[in-house]
Structure 1
Amino acid sequence: MKKVLLLSICYAFIHCNSNINPKNKIQDDVIFLASDDLEGRQTGTKGEKIAANYISNRFIQLGLSPKGTDGYLQPFSFKSKTNPHEEIKFTENGDGRITGNNVIGFLDNTAENTIVIGAHYDHLGYGGEGSLYKDSIKAVHNGADDNASGVAVMLHLATILKDKNTNNNYLFIAFSGEEMGLLGSNYFVKNPTIDTKKISYMINMDMVGRMKKDTTLAVYGTGTSPSFKQVLKSHNDNFKLIQNESGVGPSDHTSFYLADIPVLHFFTGQHEDYHKPSDDAEKLNYEGMELISDYIFDIISNLNNQKKLAFRKTKNESENTPRFKVGLGVIPDYLFDGKGMRIDGISENKPAQKAGLTKGDIVIKLGDSLVVNMMSYMRALSVFDKGDTTKVIVKRDEKEVEKEINF
Structure 2
Amino acid sequence: GSERISSGIDAAAERYSADVQWLADDVRQGRGLGSEGLARAGLWMETQFESIGLEPAGDDGGYRHVFGVPIADPSNPHAQKGFVYAFNVIGRIRGNGELEGVVLIGAHYDHLGFGGEGSLEPDSRAIHNGADDNASGAAALLEAARQIQLRRGQLKRDVVFMAFSAEERGLVGASNIVRRPPGELDMESAIAMLNMDMVGRLRDEKLSVLGGDSAEEWDDLVDPLCDRYGFECAIGGDGFGSSDQAAFFAADIPVLHFFTGTHAEYHKPSDDADLINSEGGARVAWLVSDVAGTIANRDGVLTLVKTSDGPQRRMALKARLGTIPDYAGPADGSPGLLLSDVRPDSPAAAAGLQRGDIVVQIGDLEIASVQDYMVVLSEANPGDTAPVTVIRDGERVELEVTFGAPR
TM normalised by structure 1 equals 0.74
Residue 307 (structure 2) pairs with residue 315 (structure 1) = yes
How much does 1:223 deviate? 2.3
- AA paired with 1:54? W
Contact 1:261 1:311 (8 Å CA) reproduced: no
**Where in structure 2 are the equivalents of 1:197-212 lying within 5 Å?**
197-212=188-203
Bigger relative contact order (CA 8 A; separation at least 6): 2
**Where in structure 2 are the equivalents of 1:2-401 lying within 5 Å?**
22-69=12-59, 71-81=62-72, 96-111=82-97, 112-133=100-121, 136-164=123-151, 165-193=154-182, 194-212=185-203, 214-237=204-227, 238-316=230-308, 321-322=320-321, 335-336=328-329, 339-341=335-337, 364-365=360-361, 370-373=366-369, 376=373
The CA deviation string for residues 202-245 of structure 1, in whole angstroms up to 9 with x for no partner, is: 11000000011x21110012222222111112222212211213
In structure 2, relative to structure 1, the CA distance for the partners of 1:58 and 1:393 (3 Å cut) is closer
The CA deviation string for residues 340-380 of structure 1, in whole angstroms up to 9 with x for no partner, is: 23699xxxxxxxxxxxxxxx997633675533346849989
In structure 2, relative to structure 1, the CA distance for the partners of 1:308 and 1:126 (3 Å cut) is farther
The CA deviation string for residues 135-170 of structure 1, in whole angstroms up to 9 with x for no partner, is: x44200000000000010110011011141411111
Contact 2:155 2:297 (8 Å CA) reproduced: no
User: Which has the higher mean CA deviation after the structures are superposed, 184-193 or 22-31?
Assistant: 22-31
2-side partners of 1:106 and 1:161: how far apart? 11
- AA paired with 2:205? T
- AA paired with 2:367? V
The CA deviation string for residues 225-274 of structure 1, in whole angstroms up to 9 with x for no partner, is: 22211111222221221121301111111111111111111001110000
Contact 2:106 2:161 (8 Å CA) reproduced: yes
The CA deviation string for residues 40-73 of structure 1, in whole angstroms up to 9 with x for no partner, is: 1112221110100000000110111111115211
In structure 2, relative to structure 1, the CA distance for the partners of 1:124 and 1:110 (3 Å cut) is same
Match of 1:4 in 2: none
User: Which has the higher mean CA deviation after the structures are superposed, 234-243 or 310-319?
Assistant: 310-319
Structure 1, gaps ≥5 residues long: 1-19, 83-93, 325-331, 345-359, 385-389, 395-400
1-side partners of 2:251 and 2:339: how far apart? 35
In structure 2, relative to structure 1, the CA distance for the partners of 1:336 and 1:73 (3 Å cut) is same
The aligned length equals 342
Larger Rg: 1
Q: What is the root-mean-square deviation in Å for CA atoms of aligned residues? A: 3.5
SS in 2 for 1:47: helix
- AA paired with 2:168? E
TM normalised by structure 2 equals 0.74
- AA paired with 2:193? M
2-side partners of 1:256 and 1:323: how far apart? 20
2-side partners of 1:370 and 1:205: how far apart? 33
